[in-house]
Amino acid sequence: MTKPLIIVGNTAFAEIAYEYFTHDSPYRVVGFSVEREWLKETQLCGLPVAPFEDLEEHFAPQEHAIFVAATYTQQNRLRARLLDEAEARGYTPASYISSKAFVWRNVELGEHCFIFENNVIQPFCKLGRNNILWSGNHIGHHSTIGDHCFIASHIVISGFVTVGDYVFMGVNASLANNLTLGSDCWIGPGVTVTRDVEPGTMLKPVSMRDVRTGIPPFFREE
């Protein structure tokens, strides 16, 4: 039996989440919800869109699971805030793990995560709650990812890596083994990280101009 699910959001990610939950999960999407300020249309994917502020009037908490389809807005804090509010109102967080993802049997996975196809999560990894792993990532053995992170596509996180909370990692970024990436870091596309990174650090890809001026290869700090 499928459990009815509400998706919070009306962006492209909400539509993508609808497709994955509908065709590759035990959930049945029955509606969408957004905060009243952003409520522009009353239907999405042929389903009703209800104001988040009075969601209970449309979908009873005890009967519906919920997924917040927000990406990395406000360094993942929008998704975290809406999830916390929905849980406080009695809704059960839903997770999605693609049937085409490889997640080893002893991986510890928190609630409200969305794991796309072709992710490889190796043995002894731990992932916190409210994480999004877009397609094609490698999460190496014995690594830990905190809460409220967004891991874009084709990222390599090597073995024995610790990633903090509220982290964003852009496409094709790489983390060498045995390092710690602090909370609230923003790692740009294509950046290679080879040492520990302090919380709240932004790392951008190096341009050829940076190389000519003697900045060390792989990244620059902002």
Residues 128, 84 share a domain: no
Residues 176, 199 share a domain: yes
Confidence band (pLDDT; 50, 70, 90) for 221? low
- Which has more pLDDT, 222 or 168? 168
**Cβ neighbours of residue 211 under 8 Å, at least 6 residues apart?**
217
Q: Is pLDDT of 222 > 90? A: no
Residues 63, 19 share a domain: yes
Residues 164, 90 share a domain: no
Residues 78, 165 share a domain: no
Supply the pTM of this predicted model: 0.92
CA angle 11, 15, 20 (to 5 degrees): 140
> Quick one: average pLDDT of 156-175?
98
Q: Are 133 and 151 in contact (CB under 8 A)?
A: yes
Residues 221, 114 share a domain: yes
pLDDT, mean over the chain: 94
Residues 163, 122 share a domain: yes
Share of the chain above pLDDT 90, in %: 91
Domain count, the chain: 2
Residues 146, 107 share a domain: yes
Helix (H, G, I), strand (E, B) or coil at 108: strand
Domain closes at, from 94, 123, 148: 94
Domain closes at, from 30, 65, 94: 94
Confidence band (pLDDT; 50, 70, 90) for 219? low
Residues 125, 84 share a domain: no
Q: In whole angstroms, give the CA distance from residue 45 to residue 31.
A: 9
DSSP 8-state class, residue 195:
S
The distance from CA 197 to its chain's CA centroid, rounded to whole angstroms, is 20
Q: Is pLDDT of 64 > 60? A: yes
Q: In whole angstroms, give the CA distance from residue 120 to residue 78.
A: 27
CATH number at residue 151: 2.160.10.10
Residues 171, 75 share a domain: no
Domain boundaries, position 68: 3-94
Q: In whole angstroms, give the CA distance from residue 125 to residue 50.
A: 37
CATH number at residue 59: 3.40.50.20
Residues 148, 58 share a domain: no
Residues 57, 46 share a domain: yes
Domain closes at, from 94, 122, 152: 94
